[in-house]
Amino acid sequence: MTATDSALTALSQGWCALSLLHGRIETHIERALQAGHDLSVREYSLLDVLSRQHSGPGGHLRMHQVADAVVLSQSATTRLVSRLEDRGLLSRYLCDTDRRGIYTDVSPAGLALLAEARPTNDTALREALDEAARTPELALLVAAVKNTPAGVPAT
């Protein structure tokens, strides 16, 4: 085995550990959000991203920006937006300055559900990280997540 092979193996193992950590966290949060609020992780993430928009210049995200923020394809994001719109949690409208642009806003019902679900999400995230920290292969990654400075952009 060459040094390059060892480095690639370590890199691959690191990627596998990161993927495992992500999967465990997402599964734990998914269960909590589904049980308490009938929301998936993706639905919660979409509501959260859209709730952070503002009315000033550049304050609203186009659908492709929303897709990037929730890490879904544009078509999957459109289907997700449609499902939440059907539930009365979102609304869509055309951009005033560019009729090709479609914006999405969280409805008052969506904001209320998000506010109700946020503590569940936060608690489930903490629980999942604490559990993962007990696995030696994941402990360093958990520490990195817990020590990420505030204000680091999510996207």
Q: Is residue 26 part of a domain?
A: yes
Structural domain total, the chain? 1
Residues 6-22: tens digit of each pLDDT: 767 888 998 999 999 99
Q: How far apart are CA 131 and CA 3, in angstroms?
A: 34
Q: Is residue 24 part of a domain?
A: yes
Q: Is residue 153 part of a domain?
A: no
Q: What is the DSSP string of 44-92?
A: HHHHHHHHT--SSTT-S-BHHHHHHHHT--HHHHHHHHHHHHHTTSEEE
The amino acid occupying position 46 is L
Q: Is residue 142 part of a domain?
A: yes
What is the number of other CB atoms lying within 10 angstroms of the CB of residue 66? 24
Nearest to 125 by CA among 16, 61, 48: 48
Domain CATH number, residue 124: 1.10.10.10
pTM here is: 0.86
For 2, the token pair is 């060459």
Q: Is residue 33 part of a domain?
A: yes
Q: Is residue 154 part of a domain?
A: no
Domain span at residue 85? 3-146
Q: Is residue 116 part of a domain?
A: yes
Residues 29-83: tens digit of each pLDDT: 999 999 999 999 999 999 999 999 887 777 788 888 899 999 999 999 999 999 9
Q: Is residue 155 part of a domain?
A: no
Residues 89-139: tens digit of each pLDDT: 999 887 777 767 788 899 999 999 999 999 999 999 999 999 999 999 999
Asked whether 22 and 85 are in contact (CB, 8 A), the reply is no
